[in-house]
Each structure stands twice: as structure tokens, then as C-alpha cells.
Amino acid sequence: MFTEEIKNKINELYQNTPDYVGVAYGYKTVNGVETSNKSIVFTVPKKKPLNEIPFEERLPEFVDISGTIYRTDVLEIENVVPMVDSPVCDNFLINPSCYTWSPFGSVTPPNRNTIRPLVGGISLTAQHLLGTVGTLGLIVVDSLSQKLVGLTNNHVVIQDASYTSERNLTGPIVNEYKSIAYQNGESSTPVVGNKIGEVVRYVPLKSQPQLNTVDCALVSLCANTVNNTTSFTQLGINYSQAMPFATTAEINSLLVTQRPILSSGRTSGVKDGNCGLKIKLLGVSQNVGSYPLQGAGRVVSFNDLIVFTRLSESCNFPIYHGDSGSVLIADFDGVYKIIGLNFAGSTQVPGSSTDIGQYGFACRIDNVAFELGIESWDGTPKDVVSTIEKVTTVGGSSNKTIIVDGKTYWQVGLTPHLN
């Protein structure tokens, strides 16, 4: 069972290892075969012989956690980047038209179509990111208002999700005010009829060495795009009930009892059955590259992540560019529950458009729910968010939220007037 003590030790090790090393909890692999022995796993972009590693960068063979001794392991997980999709075919974030495959063969998954009523697992973009696409992962409930909103990653709908205190207030202003969300999102120009709402809020990202647990955002939903009897489902997944969020204990047990893992994403379609997924690591602390700050890419550090992979190497990738924002689902003895929000994946070669790695990264849904103030939708009829109220303050802020006149407001970017 993954415990708080293990999580704390992973964070301690992560802070004391080289920047290129990630730390996680999983099973030890020997000669390419995963054993039943729990291990503290160090992830590296490329394994090297011991004699090529400087002494001060060598990793321990054993780790003591509250009196239990764990053997360590080293797992090659190449470069990790967000899995959004961009219109430049020769960039590592590639164009929707550059490929037409799915786990079911060389076809275009229906996830890329215009889907009404909305369901989870379909293509999505926003006004400030037209020409790039991700996935509308799930329709959830805003805990405070008890109204329906759409869940995705912040990098799918937010141009720069950094805290405004970390931005250059004298440079070009990235403004998220009234950023309209579109579905299907496959066009580089606005399609008025494809509007489904606008960005409501997101969790700003902290710069290194601070750690982030989530990459997530919410969008409002136009009333005519949601159906109270079907919109809680996932496109292509044969399950017609509303899916609750898995509990913290259930997520912590995912390495104890291996459960069928599913997902439905904009680019790679449905991963299920023989071409389903499996949990590889829990409690992962890892650097993820290519997040924008003032128009330039930067590396962001995350912790407490889930790493998943495909059941069979004969199946297509567990995650692909454009699948960012899709949800990770576990089958708990016939009850499907959301365990994570997918946001990143490994690439075998930096800047490669085709050499996607075999590992996907997800934020735990319990962390997402806590950070965003959301809960799962049980399928009972609910209204959608119809108005979004904003206030402005002077300068940049390092606060995720502020309270004004008894109301909580979330940081959503800058205005052209530096407010």
C-alpha cells in the first residue's frame, strides 16, 4: 500500500537527487521482467553504466522508510512533456492532420468529431490556443455552486498558467479574460457554432523548486450542450453509469490490486480491454518540460503523480499528443471510478513528432478535486454555470484565490491594464 511515509520519502529523495532524476514507488524490474517486489524507483532519461556516472550523482541501492528497507530500481522514462497538440507538423507538438490512427487501426477516432450532447474524452480548445487541441476529460460539479463544469488540463485551455507574480508585468500581457472554449476545437479559426462555454478557473503553476500536484482547469458549459442523462459518460467506453471519483485509499491501493485501467482521449481514442492500460508507478515526483512562461518554454516540477503504461506493447501508445485532459479510469470490481487526469507523456527523442514513449502521467483525482473545488457528478439533473464574475487587483499575485466581500475569486491571468 502506498502510504504518506512513502510519499514524504519520495519527495525528500527527489529534492536531493540530480535534476534529471525522478522518484516513485512501484515494482522492481529484473532483466526486463517486473517482479512482485515493491521498490523505490528512480526514473532517468537514459540509463548509463555505473563507471560513467559521477560519484555524487550515484543513486542508493537501498532506502529505509520507517524501518522497512526497499531495494531501489532505475527506470528509463525518456523526456516528459505535456500531451497537447499543435499545428506545426515538424514540431514535437504535431498537427491533427499529420496522423490518422487509433488503437483499432489506421482510422480517425470519433473523439475528434463535434459531439453533442457533450461527453468525456472529446476534442477541445480555447480562444487563446486556437490551432492546438486537447481533451475535454469529464463533466464534473463545482462544489460551491453545485453546477456543472467541464474538466481538462490548464495547458489545454490556458495560454500561460503561471502565477501572475512570476510574469513580466512590463512585457506582452497574456490575458485569459473571457477565453472561449470550443468543441471540437480542430480548427485554427473560431467556429461560432462550436462554442461550449468559457474558461472558469485553473490552478496556477509554481516554478521550480516548488512542487505542483495538478495541471487542471474548468470551463463553463452552455446549457444546450449538456444532457443530464448522457453527458456523464465517456465516448467509446461501454459503461452507462456516472463514474464517481476514487477515494484516496482506493488510489493508494492500485499497486496492491492491479485493476483494469481505461481511458478515452482525443487523439488515441479508447484504451480498453486487451489494449487497455496498467498502473506502473505511484507517488511520482518528476520534471515535466515545455510549459509556457512569457512565451518561452520552462521545466515544471510535479509530485504525487500516477504513471501508467499499455498492457501490451502490440497496442498503440498509452497517451499521445492531444490526449491531455482525458481521464484515467479504474474498474473496481465492476464499478468504474475516475482515478486521475492525464496531462503528460514520455517522448523517446527530444523534439520528436513520432517517437512517443510508453509512459503516461496523470494527476491524482483526489488532488485535482481538492485543488479545484470540484466533486464527481452522480448523474442527477443539475444546472450549468451561467455567469462568471471577475474582479481585478493591481499587480501580479502569488495567491491562487482571494476573498472579496465574502466571495472567493480565483486567479485567472492579467488584464491589459496590469491589473
Q: Are 345 and 253 in contact (CB under 8 A)?
A: no
Average pLDDT over residues 90-113: 57
pLDDT for residue 379 is more than 50: yes
User: What is d(CA 413, CA 408) in angstroms, rounded to the nearest whole number?
Assistant: 16
Instruction: Give the tens place of pLDDT for each residue, 193-223.
Output: 999 999 999 999 999 999 999 999 999 999 9
For the chain, the domains span 4-76, 79-375
Q: Cα angle at 21 between 92 and 249, to 5 degrees?
A: 95
406 alpha-carbon distance from chain centroid: 32
Least confident segment among 293-297, 314-318, 371-375: 293-297
Average pLDDT over residues 360-379: 98
Instruction: Give the tens place of pLDDT for each residue, 241-288.
Output: 999 999 999 999 999 999 999 999 998 889 999 999 999 999 999 999
Q: Which residue has the higher pLDDT, 395 or 106?
A: 395
| Fold exhibited by the domain 4-76 | Alpha-Beta Plaits (3.30.70)
User: What is d(CA 98, CA 288) in angstroms, rounded to the nearest whole number?
Assistant: 24
DSSP classification of residue 204: P
The x, y and z cell numbers of residue 109, run together, are 477516432
pLDDT for 113: 93
Given pLDDT bands bounded at 50, 70 and 90, which one contains residue 418? low
User: What is d(CA 33, CA 35) in angstroms, rounded to the nearest whole number?
Assistant: 6
The average confidence (pLDDT) of the chain is 89
pLDDT for 352: 45
49, burial (CB in 10 Å: exposed 0-12, middle 13-18, buried 19+): exposed
pLDDT for 297: 80
Instruction: Give the tens place of pLDDT for each residue, 334-360.
Output: 999 999 999 999 986 544 444 577 999
